[in-house]
Structure 1
Amino acid sequence: MKTALITGATGAIGSKICQMLASRGYFLYLHYNTNANAAIKLQEELETRYKVKSVIISADLSLSEGPEILMKQIPDTIDALIYNCGAQHYGLLTDFTDKSINETMQLHLLSAISVARSVIPAMVQNKAGKIIMVSSVWGEVGAACETVYSAAKGGLNAFVKALSKELAPSCIQVNSVSPGVIATPMLDQFSESEKLELVSDIPAGRFGEPDEVAHAVEFLISNKADYISGHILSINGSWFT
């Protein structure tokens, strides 16, 4: 039985990824930060529906000590890492504090690097492993009023490309999925008119669904993608191509 660690497991995208991994028989480590009730509910759903075992773990990955706290709760070898943490902060760069900049970079980039570093030695020893980072379209093209987030996700994409070259000789694949606008609760901060204006800019004429991100992850963790590494898989309805 393979083991997977999913950070941000309780979110709209994270929970769909967990369901997909459970359907493939993975033993799961379900990470959350603040929503313990959602983690418990997800665990119960996975065990009831898919008959798989899972362990709930908690850590604040926006803090520098977060990755160490996370990994101390995992005694097993991780076969697949899906780093799916994310929180967006809108505003002009001049409105950001040093604290908010540091937390954004820590959550989206530095903790991802630290967690990957922790799981790599066992993967190298086993000559197998999958590392998938959930990035963002803004990491590819950048966005005004999301400059720090864009920088972090852009750094994450560069990290994926570089790490894939280091780990390819050990038969480990490192990739990223890069969603555009996905229909998650994060859109609740926009008005209906703002949503309509946003969707009008997307050639596909709609927002993506969390399932569609999970399907991309499902392909990348499968043996069908063993020769794909260092790739940033865009999921954005041709919004930016």
Structure 2
Amino acid sequence: MDYTKTVVITGASKGIGKATAIAFAQEGYHVLINFNKSEKDAVALYDNLKEKKCSVQRFKADVSKRKEVDNMISFCISQFGSIDILINNAGICQEKLFTDITDDDWDQMINTNLKSAFFCTQAALKYMLPQKKGKIINISSIWGMVGGSCEVHYSAAKAGLIGLTKALAKELGPSNIQVNCIAPGIIQTDMLSSHHQEQLNILRENTPLMKLGSPDDIARCAFFLASHHADFITGQIISPNGGFVI
């Protein structure tokens, strides 16, 4: 394989991040797998891709902390020499009545889902701007588009990513850097682990395509946005959601 481009994926040990890391690694990209708490999953993914002769590295960093983000990006440059694509995927979710959300709940949600993208993007741009090229892909949610009951802080953080995407795309366009956002619908990941089968069936029935999405559905979308086929696409919110939100 011709390893010519590097992608950094935050929260890459499980779910959408894992599927995205696999997709890029198998297509010949250098891949930096970021993780924080899920070290066992990150090591398993790293070992699996290494066995397949993929060019991967892993790095533990809490991406809600600037110093750890800066260290991660520096490590990426030392290992691969560049950063061409940044995928801000790290995120958490929580269902809670708005009146029950604590200060800590709010801060943790905003820091993990939104502030992390601020830190990672600023760090990556130190290298993207001088080379006058790069792609930034933010992973939001349909709830960032339309709001989710009992997920106000999650919806607010994901809506923030959408605003960040649109504004930054305008700012970075003259530097030939594309910024886009993926807003997944109901995807079968650990974030659905608290849902009972009856709830999942209702979500499926409310999706026009009559099925839930898979992490691979989102990974394929990210891979397209990172490719040269998407060079004229920027500031867009693409929502693979099976018709759940139209």
Q: C-alpha displacement at 1:97, in angstroms?
A: 1.2
SS at match of 2:107: helix
| CA distance in structure 1 between the partners assigned to 2:89 and 2:199 by the alignment | 26
2:217 matched to which residue of 1?
Answer: 212
Q: Distance in 2 between matches of 1:56 and 1:106?
A: 22
Whether contact under 8 Å (2:63, 2:119) holds in the other structure is: no
- The Cα shift of 1:69 comes to 4.9
Counterpart selection for 2:58 from 56, 59, 67: 56
> Counterpart in 2 of 1:126?
131
Between 1:68-77 and 1:193-202, the stretch displaced more is 68-77
Deviations 1:118-158 (A, max 9, x none): 11121111111110011100000001100011011101001
Q: Does 1:177 align with 2:187?
A: no
The SS at the match of 2:232 is coil
Amino acid at match of 2:15: A
CA contact (8 A) 1:77 1:119 kept: no
Give the Cα–Cα distance (whole angstroms) in 2 for the partners of residues 222 and 80 of structure 1. Answer: 10
Cα shift at 1:70: 3.6
Give the letter aligned to residue 83 of structure 2: I
Post-superposition shift, 1:65? 5.3
TM-superposition CA deviations, 1:73-94 (whole Å, max 9, x none): 4334311001111111110111
| Between 61-70 and 134-143, the greater mean CA deviation after superposition | 61-70
Structure 1 segments unaligned to the other structure (5+ residues): none
Asked if the contact 1:64/1:106 (under 8 Å) is kept, the reply is no
* Equivalent-residue separation in structure 1 for 2:225 and 2:74 (angstroms): 27
| The one of 6, 9, 12 aligned to 2:12 | 9
Match of 1:19 among 22, 39, 43: 22
2:94 corresponds to 1:93: no
How much is the aligned-residue C-alpha RMSD, in angstroms? Answer: 1.4
- For residue 64 of structure 1, report the CA deviation from its aligned partner: 6.1
Could you say which residue in structure 2 is the equivalent of 1:104? 109
CA contact (8 A) 1:32 1:57 kept: yes
Distance in 2 between the 1:67 and 1:139 partners? Answer: 24
| Residues in 2 aligned to 1:77 and 1:95: alpha-carbon distance in whole angstroms | 44
User: Partner residue of 2:76?
Assistant: 74
* Distance in 1 separating the partners of 2:155 and 2:225: 23
C-alpha distance in structure 1 between counterparts of 2:176 and 2:157, whole Å = 27
**Structure 1: which amino acid aligns with 2:55?**
K
**1:142-200 alpha-carbon deviations (Å, 9 max, x no partner):** 01100011011101001001101111111111001110100112222111111111211
Q: CA deviation at 1:63?
A: 4.8
Quote the offset at 1:72 in angstroms.
Answer: 4.9
Distance (whole Å) between structure 1 residues aligned to residue 71 and residue 98 of structure 2? 30
| CA spacing shift, 1:166–1:30, aligned 2, 3 Å | same
**Normalised TM-score (structure 2):** 0.93
Q: Where does the alignment leave 5 or more consecutive residues of structure 2 unmatched?
A: none
**Count of residues paired in the alignment:** 240
**Within-5 A mapping of 1:135-154:** 135-154=140-159
Structure 2 residue 242 is matched with structure 1 residue 237: yes
Q: Deviations over 1:199-226 (max 9, x none)?
A: 1111111100111101101110000000
SS in 2 for 1:189: coil
For 1:180, the aligned partner's letter is: G
Q: Which letter maps to 1:31?
A: N
Tell whether the 8 Å contact from 1:137 to 1:234 is kept in structure 2 after alignment: yes
> AA paired with 2:117?
A
**More deviation, 145-154/182-191:** 182-191
